[in-house]
A and B are shown apart, each in its own frame.
Chain A
Amino acid sequence: GQQLNQSPQSMFIQEGEDVSMNCTSSSIFNTWLWYKQEPGEGPVLLIALYKAGELTSNGRLTAQFGITRKDSFLNISASIPSDVGIYFCAGYPGGATNKLIFGTGTLLAVQP
């Protein structure tokens, strides 16, 4: 089945550092989404990308939809302690399905 692979699996950084994580697939996705999940909570949508090549920002977050439609990255600038959580990429493979496929997640820990 379709899979989304995220890297890195985890990151331990100092407050103020910039962070980059990415997501790749062997198949094409029509929409890429980035979610953040905090302990005991559901995933919260951060950024949605709808067109290949699209670059979108949301505050300190920037994400891009890869030209090949098989990858996406998320950057967080000037990290703060509340950025801690698990970041999931997710995508719609398109076609007749409205099912969202989730990536494996990147755990981010920020040291004050």
Chain B
Amino acid sequence: EPEVTQTPSHQVTQMGQEVILRCVPISNHLYFYWYRQILGQKVEFLVSFYNNEISEKSEIFDDQFSVERPDGSNFTLKIRSTKLEDSAMYFCASNSVGYGYTFGSGTRLTVV
């Protein structure tokens, strides 16, 4: 069964450092997403990406965040200057229109 692949599985970074989280969505999917889940809380939408541009973003997705599809397979989330409160699980997901998302296994980001 096709999978969404995320790397790394765990990233520890110093406050103020830049991090890039990587994802390989399912190849024939058209929509790509980043969600995050703070420990013990629900999954929150960050951003959706379609046709090589952001189609929607939440208020969490401020100027410190950016996304990119640098080639035909990868989809990245960059946090420019990490803060302690950015510590969370970050999930990449993809889908075709109207169908349930397939999520990756997530990247646990710990900011120290």
Q: A residues bordering B, Cβ < 8 Å? A: 31, 33, 35, 40-45, 48, 50, 88, 90, 92, 97-105
Contacts and interface: CB of A to CB of B under 8 A. Distances in A.
A43 B108 CA distance: 14
A100 B42 contact: no
Interface residues of B, number: 26
Nearest to A44: B103
Nearest to B45: A99
Given A98-B50, A99-B48, A41 B105 contact: yes
A105 B39 CA distance: 13
Interface stretch (B13-21, B69-77, B79-87, B93-101): B93-101
Interface of B: 4, 31, 33, 42-45, 48, 50, 55-56, 58, 91, 93, 95, 97-106, 108
A2 to B, nearest CB: 11
Contacts of A42: 4, 91, 93, 103-106
Contacts of B99: 48
B58 to A, nearest CB: 8
Contacts of B104: 42
Contacts of A40: 105-106, 108
B45 A31 contact: no
18 contacts: A33-B100, A40-B108, A41-B105, A42-B4, A42-B103, A42-B106, A45-B101, A45-B102, A50-B98, A88-B42, A90-B43, A98-B31, A98-B48, A98-B56, A99-B33, A100-B33, A104-B42, A105-B42
